[in-house]
Structure 1
Amino acid sequence: MNIAILGYGTVGSGVALIIEQAHTPFTKKLHVKHILIRKGKNKILSTMCDDIHTILNDKDCDTVVETMGGIEPAHTYILQALKSGKHVVTANKAVVAKYLQEFIECAKENHVKFYFEATTGGGIPWIEGLDKAMRIDEIDHIYGIFNGTSNYILDHMERYNADFDKILKEAQSLGYAEADPSADIDGFDIRNKLRISASLAYAFHVPEDFPVYGIRTITKQDITYFKHLGYHIRLVAKTKRQGNKYGCVVEPVLFPQNEIESNTKNNYNVITLHGKTIGDLKFYGQGAGKLPTANAIVQDMIDINENTTRFETSFTNQMHYDKSLCLCDYIVRTSTKAFGAFSDCSYTLDTYQGCEYLHIKKVAVYLMHQYMREVMKTDPNAFMASIFEGENDD
C-alpha cells in the first residue's frame, strides 16, 4: 500500500515512524510515498511535497492519511482524495464530527474506505469495538472519559491537593495540553468525540447543540469536598437513547471510589457502551499521544490493505433530541446570591470549609445547564458536577 500523509506534526510523524520501523509482516506492506507540508517549509525528506494535486494525481497512491487537524483545508482535501478513488484515514475529530455523514457517503459513492478510529479514544480500539457491538445489539447508552488532558488535570489535582492553574501548566509542559487549552478543559474536544460515537451508535448524524460544561472553574477545595463525600470527579461525555429519542451531554461527573472511572489515572481514557446482550462493555487505554494515536491510524490502514470487513454505517434513522430524557442529581458550588436560579428545584444546602454547596435532586440535564448559564452571570467562578448512578445513570 502506497500512502500519502497530509501534515507532518506530532501524529503524522508518528505514523511515518511506525511504518519506517515496520516490525510486523502487516506494517512491512505499507510504504510512505508522499508527505504534504505547508508551502514555504523546507522539504527535509525526499517524500515531501507542498501541492495536494501531486498526491491526488498519483494513481499509485492508494491511501491518504489526514493528520493536519482543523476544518479547512482538511475537509476539502479529504473529499478530493475520496473522489480521486483513494482511501482516507484520519485522526481529525473536529472535521469528522462535523462532516461524518458526508465523508462516509462520499466514500461509498466512490467505492473506497473512510476510517477514523484515531479520532476517538486515541490508541483505544473504541470505534472498532462499537462497530462490533452494533452487529448484535442496539446501543442505548455510552459514557466515559474521552479526554486525556482533562483527566490528567483532575487526577493530579486530587492526588497532590493542587490548584487547577498549577496542574494545567504542568500538563502543558508535558505536552498533554495545548498553549490554548480551551478545547480540552471546556469540553469541546469531548463534544466532538461524543458526536462521532453517538452518530455511529444511532445511525443518525448527531448535531452539536447539546449541553457542554467543562472544568475551568473547579478548585482544589471542590475536590477535597467531593472526596469527603466519597467521590472522585472526572469530565465525562454521556449519551442515552430510548427508541427514536436521544440525549447527549458533556459535564463533570462524580463517581464513587470503587468505580473504574475513579481509578482512571493520568492521561488515560475509559469508555463504556451498553447493549441488551453484551451489557456494559468498557474500553481502557491511552486516549492521546503521538504513538498511541498513530498506532490507531496504522491499524486502520492495515484493515484496508487486508480488506478486513467492517460494519458499514448508514444514516437512515430519524432521531429527536429529548431535553427531558436525561435526569441527574447535581452538586453546585456557588454564592448565596445565585441560589435563586434553583428556586424550582428540590435541594439541600451543605457548608464545607466556608463554601456553600447545593445538593440538587433529579433535574433534567438540559435544564440544569440552563440554570448554570444564569448562575455564571452572577457568579462566574461557580462549579457544578452530576452524580453517577451506575448502570441506570440518566
Structure 2
Amino acid sequence: MVRCSCVFFRKYGNFIDNLRLFTRGGSGGMGYPRLGGEGGKGGDVWVVAHNKMTLKQLKDKYPKKRFVAGEGANSRVSALKGSKGKDCEIPVPIGISVTDENGKIIGELHKEKDRILVAEGGLGGKLLTNFLPLKGQKRVIHLDLKLIADIGLVGFPNAGKSSLLSQISHAKPAIADYAFTTLKPELGKIMYNDFKQISVADLPGLIEGAHMNKGMGHKFLKHIERTKQLLFVVDISGFQLSSQTQYRTAFETIILLTKELELYNEEVQTKPALLAVNKMDLPDAQDKFHVLMNQLQNPKDFLHLFGKKMIPERIMEFQHIIPISAITGEGIDELKNCIRKSLDEHANRENDAYHKKQLLNLQISNAISYSEPPSKNALTNSKMDRI
C-alpha cells in the first residue's frame, strides 16, 4: 500500500471564471513623405498565462478592463524608420480559453508563458498608405477559465464530495446537509511519500438537466473538460434534490450523471473514471452496496427502469469501485491508492502509444527513403563501375 499525506492546494475566494475585456492595438506612426520615411507599427495586445494569476486579481488590478497598446513612433529626419509601439500584455491564469464577441475561439493557454495575440497594432505610414498611419485593431474578448486538475469529482449535490475532499487534503470546503453547498470550485492536493502530487477538483454539483444549464449547469461542466480522469461520488442511499423531484437510487444516479456528461460533451464521458460509493457508515449500506454492484456488473438488465431519453449511448465503465465513508475515513486510503494507480497506468499507456507512434513514423520515413529511385549521378556511377 502506498502511504501518503495530504496538504491544501488552492482555494478560490470570490471565484471568477469568466471576464469580458476591451482591447485595442496601438495606432501606427506617421510616415515622412519627403524622404520616404516609414512610421513605426503600433503595439500589439497579448494575453499571457501566468502560474500564480487569477481572474479576480486581473479584475481588481484593472477595474476598467481596458487594454490599449502603445502607438508607433513617427518617422523623422533622425530616424526615418519609426520604432514599434509598446506591446500590452494581459496576465491571466493557466487554463484560459479566449473567445471573441461571437463566441469564436481565438486560442487557449495551457501552460506558463503561453501567449495569444488578441489585437494587432496598426501599420505605420508608408508609400502604400500615402504615408498615413492605420489604426490598431479593436476587439472585445472573453476570458473563460477551465480548471486543470488530475481528478475531477463528479456527483449530484450532497453526495459527499466536499467531505471527501476534506479527507484527502487539508482543504476546508463548505459542508452541510443541503444541496449546493459547493458554489465555487475547490482544489485539493494529495501528496504521497515519494513526493508525487495529485490535484483533485471538487466542483459544484450536477442535477438532472445540467447539460441545459440547469442548476450550476455549464459553470460546473466546463471545468471537467481539462481534468485527466473523473471520480464519480455517489450516495449509497440514493439522491433526491427536493420533495418535488423524483428519488433516485445510487445506480440511477450513476446512469443520470453519465447521461448529463454525454449530452454536454461526449469527449468528457470517454475520460477514465473511478467510482467512490460514499456514506457506507449508514444502516443497510452493505446490502445496498451488493445490490449496486450487481447492477453495475449487469447494467443492461436494469436499463428498462429508465426512459429512452435518460439512457446514455455508452455505459460508464469504472476502473476501480471503492466503498468509502468520508465521515469515518473508511476506504479513504484504498481510494488514494486507486487514484494513484489509475493515473500511473493511464500515463504509461500514453507513453507507450507515443513511442509506438514515433517508431511507426521512423519506419515509414525509412521505407520512403529506401523506395526513392536512384539519382542520375548514381546510375552514371553504376555504369562506370561496370566498364
* TM-score with structure 2 setting the length: 0.28
* Structure showing the higher helix proportion among its residues: 1
Greater Rg, structure 1 or structure 2?
2
Identify which of structures 1 and 2 has the higher relative contact order when contacts are C-alpha pairs closer than 8 Å and 6+ apart. Answer: 1
